Amino acid sequence: MTADFTIKVGDFEGPFEMLLFLIEKHKLHISQVSLAKVADDYIVYLQKLADKPMAEMANFILVASTLMLIKSLSLLPGLTISPEESESIGDLERRLKHYQRIKDLTPWLKNNFGTRLIFERQISNNRPVVFTPSPEIKTPSLFLAIRGVMAELPKLEKIPAAIIKKVISLEEVMTDLAKRVAQQMSFRFKDYVKENKHEKVNVIVSFLGILELFKQGLVEVRQNSHFEDIDIENRQSGVPHY
């Protein structure tokens, strides 16, 4: 719950000052009972301030809503409220007591502030900075500390060098296949792959090259059944240029 003590509305600076005035007017102590009794007076005074800007009245309205909740509890003892509402009531009571304490101390603070000033002696800036190690710090203990730190450092692992193999490009495969089919007129895909000792990735690129040549109408491709070898034949004479 929040309250602004700097905004002056009517005769009061903030909702707590108004509420405290009403409680003291009825000669009551701060409690839920006293808050319930002054709730009506608070609402009546709040209605007189209806022409004030909403920004200035926000905290007053917030306190008023809590007071109405307290008033409802006093009239309806069996009324069930949520934990948040219960905390709001307790918070209002605590903050009001703190406000009363501060208000009571204000005259004393005003009269005594600055009368008993105590200053600490300033440290001289001319004193040399000296490192004074503890007598317990010996060479063996320093050695153990350094060794412990080094043991926690991450180990430098040697990463094995990877051999990057050249992957044949699709253009190179198509050129090679076109030359091959121009020379032999026909051959099998398995023989072509075996002769060139292609890696798996190059086999895939070679297969894509055959499909591209077939798409361009340069070769005829035939496979009698699934998983059988692929026969590649020349569809026209001449070697295509890329």
Return the CATH number at 226.
1.10.10.580
pLDDT at 13: 58
- Position 76 scores a pLDDT of 72
Question: Is residue 121 in some structural domain?
Answer: no
What is the pLDDT at residue 120?
64
Domain end marker among 93, 112, 131: 112
Does 66 have pLDDT greater than 70? yes
CA–CA gap between residue 71 and residue 38 (Å, rounded): 9
Choose from 39-53, 59-73, 140-154, 182-196 the range with maximum mean pLDDT. Answer: 140-154
The pLDDT of 76-91, averaged and rounded, is 80
DSSP state string for 11-29: TEESHHHHHHHHHHHTT--
Percent pLDDT > 90 in the chain is 0
Instruction: Report, as an integer, the average pLDDT of 105-128.
Output: 74
217: its two tokens: 């109408």
Task: Please determine, for residue 88, whether its predicted confidence score (pLDDT) is greater than 80.
Answer: yes
pTM for the full predicted model: 0.38
pLDDT band for position 94 (50/70/90)?
confident
Boundary of a domain, candidates 68, 91, 112: 112
75, part of any domain: yes
Residue 50 in domain: yes
Work out the average pLDDT over 166-181: 81
Range of the domain at 43: 8-112
- Round to whole Å and give the CA distance between 128 and 115: 36
Question: Residue 73 — very low, low, confident or very high, per pLDDT cuts 50/70/90?
Answer: confident
- Does 62 reside within a domain? yes
Looking at residue 158, its pLDDT comes to 77
Decide if 101 is inside a domain: yes
Phi, psi angle pair for 219, to nearest 5°: -135, 160
By CB atoms closer than 10 A (0-12, 13-18, 19+), residue 227 is: exposed
> In this model, does residue 63 exceed pLDDT 60?
yes
Give the mean model confidence (pLDDT) for residues 212-238: 79
Give me the pLDDT at residue 225, please: 77
Return the pLDDT at 52: 72
Rounded Cα distance between 63 and 74, Å, is 17
Rounded to the nearest 5°, which phi and psi values hold at 49?
Answer: -105, 25
Residue 138 zone, left/alpha/beta (φ > 0; ψ -120 to 50; rest): beta
Q: How many domains does the chain have?
A: 2
| Same domain, yes or no: 93 and 17 | yes
The predicted pLDDT at position 43 comes to 80
Which of 84, 112, 140 terminates a domain? The answer is 112
- Would you state the pLDDT for residue 12? 56
Same structural domain, 101 and 185? no
pLDDT score, position 14: 67
Please tell me the predicted confidence (pLDDT) of residue 9: 40
Residue with tokens 């340069």: 218
Query: In the prediction, which pLDDT does 188 show?
Result: 84
Mean residue pLDDT across the chain: 76
Residues 177 and 108 in one domain: no
Rounded to an integer, what distance in angstroms lies between the CA atom of residue 127 and that of residue 121?
14
- Confidence check: pLDDT of 142 > 60: yes
d(CA 54, CA 61): 9
**How far is 91 from 192, CA to CA, in rounded Å?**
88
The answer to whether position 163 is within a domain reads no
Whether the CB-CB separation of 187 and 180 falls below 8 Å is answered with yes
Whether 150 has a pLDDT exceeding 50, the answer reads: yes
What confidence score (pLDDT) does residue 240 get? 46
